[in-house]
A = this chain, B = another copy of it.
Amino acid sequence: MNRAELVKIIREKKSVLCVGLDTDLNKIPKHLLEEEDPAFAFNKAIIDATRDVAVAYKINTAFYEAQGLKGWISMEKTLNYIPKNIFTIADAKRGDIGNTSEQYARTFFYTYPYDSVTVAPYMGADSVQPFLQFEDKWAIVLGLTSNAGSADFQLQDCSNEKLYEKVLRTVASWGTPENIMFVIGATRKEQLQHVRSLLPEHFFLIPGVGAQGGDVATVCDNALNKDGGVLINVSRGIIYAGSGTDFAEKAAVAAKEYQQQMAAYL
């Protein structure tokens, strides 16, 4: 999916909601465990319940990889089930030397035809560039994350700037706002304003809303741009909104509430 198409669905749906499918077999409603493919049964119901208000789905590959082959089968069925006019993200945090990153790009753009994949920047240009060679595909590179560990390296001073600022500035120069987004796990007003001032055009994938403490209003007040320019991810706050047989209805209500908060800004 290219940028114009993404912006179009944001405007049509008045939403920047990304639903995170961090599907954990220990957390899904117990009655689904009797299904042949519990993870897919859960995801299918969540997608049906949220597709009208979601502009993106983010599949956290770790939760599927941990199940071995059957996890990859659930993941592929989920990816295929997502409507083609919704943006898809493989949240896989890959990145390696060039010939290996080429294999990861092949994995998540071809073998599994996602629109985008999250990428870790530590190994530098030749680890990111292989992800930028595919038309209408995106690398979503880690900039500033929302976890406690972000202070260990990302927030350290690095030649007159923070490491994450150097990463944003440097990685942005390797591609364009048409093929690079950044993970910005900021939840504070000042951080969001600052990052937006550094990169006025780029899309940001913003986790950390809901279970991780951020809120939609602060993100929208401080990080939107003329195209929307953000994808706000909510995982646990939607997919585990309910834990009984009405989990999908509860997810629909939660997703709709998030979308309505966003609509006021779009």
Contacts and interface: CB of A to CB of B under 8 A. Distances in A.
A198 interface: no
A218 B61 CA distance: 39
Contacts of A110: 66
Residue in A91, A96, A158 whose Cβ sees the most chain B Cβ within 10 Å: A96
Given A66-B103, A121-B122, A156 B153 contact: no
Interface residues of A, number: 58
Interface string A162-190: 01001100100000000000000000000
B127 A153 contact: no
Interface stretch (A31-39, A81-89, A144-152, A249-257): A144-152
Contacts of A101: 62
Nearest to A65: B107
A191 interface: no
A100 to B, nearest CB: 5
Interface of A: 22, 24, 60, 62-63, 65-69, 72-73, 76, 91, 93-101, 103-104, 106-107, 110-112, 120-128, 142, 145-154, 156-159, 163, 166-167, 170
